[in-house]
Amino acid sequence: MQRLATAFAIAMVLAFGAQAASAQTLKAVQDRGQLVCGGNGTLAGFGMPDPQGNWVGFDVDFCRAIAAAIFNDTKKVKFVPLTTANRFTALQSGEIDLLARNTTWTMSRDTTLGLDFAGVTYYDGQGFMVRKSLNVKSALELSDAAVCVQQGTTTELNLADYFRANRMSLKTVTFATANEAVRAYDTGRCDAYTTDASGLYGERLRLTDPNAHIVLPEIISKEPLAPVVRQGDDTWEDLVRWTHEAMLNAEELGITQQNVDDMLKSNSPDVRRLLGAEGQFGQSIGLTNDWAYRIIKAVGNYGESFERNVGQGSPLKIARGLNALWTKGGLQYGLPVR
């Protein structure tokens, strides 16, 4: 109901409000002294408050990196928890500056929502989780199974597509939030729960007995997760895109949170350009030239953020896989800073 109320409020803003000048996001953020970031709020590893109430996660780190680039202070971020239902409207209406909420980049979203996606921060794919006791080895055996899913996601659509393509019959039980879908799966309402593979690992930890469940090997879709900004503010989109690229470049160049100060003395032209010792790259996106130094100092490089939140340093223990650097067989490829 709260969801509907939010959607209603936003619709009213669209109907009666004057659209804020869209090309001024960076200035608005600087004047406000705070970045407002739309996040998940319930997804372990990506965006969720810890027991002390501080938001942590992979998407959260991305927002903190931008705050570090702008304010040199990772605390100057306000996180707004959003559901799949209100995430795009919240961004469209200007309630948030940036959406970093495990959101899949698709053509229809890119072209009809008045939004732009700024670089793939995580290559994901949809998978299934089932009870071990069912003795299912493959998703292709799931014909007739009841599957719990969260509504309004690409997941919901891929699920129907996959069962149709493989001529299997499907019983979907659709819930408004991931919390409700997982709880229903846990009580036995469904045989399988489906979402992005990264989410499956996170949600499995919340089940009554995580060891009684397995994630099936099939990945049935491409889910490139990307931060989203409003269309028409190219400066802001550049800033968001290059924050991700800076973190990737830092990993490629071996710059870490620990050694970034030493790296300032490096002779490598790539390192010097990235850290602002050479060139005017920071100024070209409206910041100071040490923008990337501040990001790395505060949040670390891409790999550090990955391992800390979802990889070996976290309870999720997700392998880098597609998200390894291109030099190590993955898809993450830092665009050149030059």
Question: Interface with other proteins by CB under 8 A: which residues?
Answer: 1, 3-4, 7-8, 10-11, 14-19, 22, 84-85, 88-89, 92, 108-109, 112-114, 134, 142-146, 151-153, 156-157, 159-161, 164, 170-176, 180-181, 184, 187-189, 191, 230-232
Closest contact distance (angstroms) between CB of 79 and other proteins is 21
Closest contact distance (angstroms) between CB of 303 and other proteins is 33
What is the spatial distance between Cα 292 and Cα 328, in angstroms, rounded to a whole number? 23
Concatenating the DSSP letter of every residue in 208-245 gives SSGGGEEE-S---S-EEE--EEETT-HHHHHHHHHHHH
Nearer to other proteins, 32 or 171 (CB): 171
Closest contact distance (angstroms) between CB of 8 and other proteins is 6
Nearer to other proteins, 103 or 323 (CB): 103
Nearer to other proteins, 2 or 267 (CB): 2
- CA distances, 172 to each of 127, 148, 160, 169, 193 (Å): 15, 6, 9, 10, 10
Nearer to other proteins, 26 or 82 (CB): 82
* Cβ-Cβ contacts under 8 Å for 215 (sequence gap 6 or more): 127, 128, 129, 197, 200, 201, 204
Closest contact distance (angstroms) between CB of 95 and other proteins is 12
Nearer to other proteins, 12 or 319 (CB): 12
How many Cα atoms sit within 13 Å of 309 on the Cβ side? 27
Nearer to other proteins, 231 or 256 (CB): 231
Closest contact distance (angstroms) between CB of 26 and other proteins is 18
Closest listed residue to residue 61, CA positions, set 320, 306, 238: 306
Q: At 302, list the tokens.
A: 């891409």
Closest contact distance (angstroms) between CB of 129 and other proteins is 15
Nearer to other proteins, 160 or 331 (CB): 160
For β-strands 98-99 and 35-39, DSSP reports them as parallel
Concatenating the DSSP letter of every residue in 244-276 gives HHHHHHHHHTT--TTTHHHHTT---HHHHHHHT
Closest contact distance (angstroms) between CB of 262 and other proteins is 45
